[in-house]
Chains A and B, each alone.
Chain A
Amino acid sequence: MSTTEPYAPLVAQLFAELPGAGRPAGPGWACGEAREPLSGTWVRVYLQAAAGRVAACRYEVRGCPHTVAALGLLATRLAGQAVAGLDVDPAALARELGAPAAKLGRIFVIQDALRSAALQLNVGCP
């Protein structure tokens, strides 16, 4: 990333492709939601599990390109992970995407939504 490019190529790619974006159809999804009012960031994470592992992850988001990209990355990586102790390292995610330190708060919104979704697994989305 050059010093004048605001986003890493990975962010641009994920923002363009939006892997896993959208509200899932059908039953069997748990969801968690979090927001950060100052920036207006809003995240909803949907998880589907089978045999104690994440089968699929979807999301809805209103947020900056780093937030959108972080969710795309998450959606591609969560499948297969154990539901027990499911979590994400916001700092590592931010580093991987080249997000400035001041954006870390927005990545924490994703973590909050993910944790909430993990708790809701098997309860179902309202």
Chain B
Amino acid sequence: MSEPFIYLDYAATTPPDPQVRAAMDECLAAAPGNASSSHVGGRAARERVEAARAEVAALVEAPPEAIVFTSGATEADNLAILGAARGNAARGRHLVSVRTEHRAVLDPLARLAREGFRTTLLTPGRDGLVDPAAVGRACEPGTTLVSVMLVNNEIGVLQDIAAIAAECRRHGALLHVDAAQAAGRVPFTVRGLDADLVSLAAHKIHGPVGVGALYVRREPRPTLVPLSFGGGQEAGLRPGTLPVHQIVGMGTAYALARAALAAEPARLAALRERLWSALRSLPGVHLNGHPTQRAPHILNVSVDGVDGEALLFALGSVALSAGSACNSGHGEPSYVLRALGRDDVLAQASLRFSFGRPTTEAEIDLAAQRVRAAVLRLRALAPA
């Protein structure tokens, strides 16, 4: 009999909540209407969009008019970074970010380098945290934008964004925060972050794939150059016919996340600690990232004495992410773990467990048993 499947990859994506699916179904079944049209169907669509916008805004305590819908957090990151850099190029062409950012941030920065912008990429400490003072030291008179994620998608560490924001204010730089992993998992408000731009995703918190949002501060409003043109929707920042059912799905997911925010982070943190307690009893298992300043839903560990790809394969019925995508044969270790100082072999032998609303203690215990068995089996093949 095959082993039951355990999904522990909620930082990659989450299944849409049944209420999200129902809301999207109902929207798709409704009378047709382009949210930009003035007839009754269009107005109904617009009402759905604005209700969803209010829900997204409510989770992060933003004014609804500060929320710009996009196709996801990747587009939100691109709009924030490319848009702010290009829109403020007359003030300066220097940007600051961190080596452990998501590719959705690092790749736009690389693109800007080809347009003549310079980027200073900070190396975090071995615990994955960025020293806010280092952000300040990296800023120059021509620094227009700093981009630092709230929760790291691989190791789950939680950056001190408010302190980083203070450095940005001191140097007159805009602050962008990728909060794709944070929304709904970590209580925060845009006022508390004091950020100018915040990227949000839907599918990380049981919403649909294909929709996200960018918070754009209202006062003072940062200058952004849009990435595409035509139609003027979303205040001209993200033109195109609005995908109403996707937006409704995101709004429902954010409403559900807000309702769960009082209790769910503590429950997820307890699951994370339960798994870590079980894994740390194995010798040679190392926690990646700061032990306490972290989001509740991500646990990343490195395992001595095993090959990471073999470990992942041995855990076939446990869905999680590894420190590298080795089967390509390139075996390129995680750049995030390398930035923390892990050597290549240990970075490859890393596992990211992430938890979501459906995760149970029984699943955690079973996953821990399987990891333990797989590690011992592989270590027996290569005694130290």
Residues of chain A at the chain B interface (Cβ within 8 Å): 6-7, 15, 18, 21-23, 37-42, 60-65, 67-68, 99-103
B65 within 8 A of A: no
Q: Are A101 and B329 in contact (CB-based, < 8 A)?
A: yes
Q: Are B330 and A102 in contact (CB-based, < 8 A)?
A: yes
Compute how far the CA of A41 lies from the CA of B348 in the bound complex, rounded to whole angstroms. 11
Compute how far the CA of A6 lies from the CA of B329 in the bound complex, rounded to whole angstroms. 11
Measured CB to CB, the closest approach of chain B to A105, in angstroms, equals 8
* Complex interface residues of chain B between 141 and 175 (CB less than 8 A to chain A): none
Residues of chain B at the chain A interface (Cβ within 8 Å): 305-307, 309-310, 313-314, 326-331, 344-345, 348-349, 378, 380-383
Partner of A62, one of B305, B328, B329, B344: B305
Partner of A15, one of B306, B313, B328, B329: B313
Q: Are B313 and A42 in contact (CB-based, < 8 A)?
A: no
Q: Are A60 and B313 in contact (CB-based, < 8 A)?
A: no
Complex A-B, nearest 5 residue pairs according to Cβ-Cβ distance, in ascending order: A102-B329, A40-B345, A62-B382, A103-B329, A100-B329
Residue of B at shortest CB range from A106? B329
Task: Name the B residues within 8 Å of A64 (CB-CB).
Answer: 307, 309-310, 326-327, 331
Measured CB to CB, the closest approach of chain A to B329, in angstroms, equals 3
Measured CB to CB, the closest approach of chain B to A100, in angstroms, equals 4
Given A62-B307, A63-B307, A100-B329, A40 and B348 touching (CB < 8 A)? yes
Measured CB to CB, the closest approach of chain B to A117, in angstroms, equals 16
Given A21-B381, A61-B382, A62-B378, A41 and B307 touching (CB < 8 A)? yes
Interface centre among B309, B328, B345, B348 (most CB of A within 10 A): B309
Task: Name the B residues within 8 Å of A15 (CB-CB).
Answer: 310, 313-314
